[in-house]
Amino acid sequence: MRQVRRFAVLIIASLFQVSCVDYELTKHVDQIPDINVHPTVVSFGAMSAGQETGAQEIVIENVGTDRLKIDDIKFQTSFPFFSITSVGDSKLDPGEKTSFILTYTPTTYSSDSTAVDIYSNDPDEPVVEIIIDGVGDAPVIEVTPDSYDFGNIDLGCYEELSLSIGNIGNVDLEIYDLEFFATLPVDFMFDSDETTHGSLPWTIPPSTSLEVVVIYEPLDLLDDSGYAEITSNDPQIPITTAAQVANGSYYGFVADSFEQTGDTKSDILFVIDNSCSMSRNQTSLKNNFSSFINVFATSGVDYQIAFITTDNESFIGGHVISQSSADPVAEVNNIIDTIGISGSALERGLIESYVATSSGGDASNTGTFMRSDAKFVVIYISDEPDGSANYSSMLPSDYSSHLRGLKASSSLVAAHAVAGDYPSGCSGSGTYASFGDGYYDVVQDLGGTFLSICATDWGFQMDALARASMAVQSFNLSDIPIENTIDVQVDGIPDSNWYYDSPLNAVVFTTVPQIGSNIDVMYAIYGECE
Same domain for 302 and 173? no
Residues 469-494 pLDDT 10s: 877 777 889 999 999 899 999 999 99
Residue 29 lies in a domain: no
CB 481 within 8 A of CB 525: yes
Domain termination residue (choose one: 137, 157, 176) = 137
Domain termination residue (choose one: 137, 172, 196) = 137
Domain termination residue (choose one: 99, 116, 137) = 137
Residue 50 lies in a domain: yes
d(CA 83, CA 99): 14
Same domain for 276 and 235? no
CA 377, 383, 384, 386: dihedral to nearest 10 degrees?
A: -10
d(CA 232, CA 229): 10
d(CA 290, CA 3): 179
Same domain for 279 and 346? yes
Q: Domain range holding 161?
A: 141-249
CB 166 within 8 A of CB 141: yes
Residue 477 lies in a domain: no
Domains: count for the chain: 3
Decide: helix, strand or coil at residue 303. Answer: strand
Same domain for 391 and 328? yes
User: Model confidence at 1, in pLDDT bands (50, 70, 90)?
Assistant: very low
Residue 274 lies in a domain: yes
Return the pLDDT at 192: 60
Torsional sign, CA 403, 406, 407, 409: positive
Same domain for 294 and 230? no
Q: HEC states along 141-210? A: EEEECCEEEEEEEECCCCEEEEEEEEECCCCCEEEEEEEEEECCCCCEEECCHHHHHCCCCEEECCCEEE
d(CA 525, CA 156): 8
CB 149 within 8 A of CB 165: no
Residue 388 lies in a domain: yes
Residue 44 lies in a domain: yes
CB 408 within 8 A of CB 456: no
Same domain for 296 and 177? no
Residue 3 lies in a domain: no
- Looking only at the bridges linking them, the beta strands covering 223-232 and 173-182 are antiparallel
Same domain for 302 and 211? no
Q: What backbone torsions phi and psi does residue 274 show, to the nearest 5 degrees?
A: -115, 25
Q: What backbone torsions phi and psi does residue 305 show, to the nearest 5 degrees?
A: -130, 130
Residue 378 lies in a domain: yes
Same domain for 239 and 345? no
Return the pLDDT at 15: 47
Decide: helix, strand or coil at residue 16. Answer: helix
CATH number of the domain residue 207 falls in: 2.60.40.10
- The whole-model pTM stands at 0.54
Residues 91-103 pLDDT 10s: 999 999 999 999 9
Same domain for 276 and 236? no
Residues 352-385 pLDDT 10s: 999 999 999 999 988 889 998 899 999 999 999 9
* 23 pLDDT more than 50: no
Same domain for 379 and 274? yes
Return the pLDDT at 193: 66
Same domain for 202 and 105? no
d(CA 417, CA 403): 15
d(CA 438, CA 487): 30
CATH number of the domain residue 386 falls in: 3.40.50.410
Q: HEC states along 247-296? A: EEECCEEEEEEEECCECCEEEEEEEECCCHHHHHHHHHHHHHHHHHHHHH
Decide: helix, strand or coil at residue 320. Answer: coil
Same domain for 436 and 300? yes
Residues 56-84 pLDDT 10s: 999 999 999 999 999 999 999 888 899 99
Return the pLDDT at 281: 95
Which segments of 316-428 does DSSP mark as H helices, in order? 328-339, 349-357, 396-404
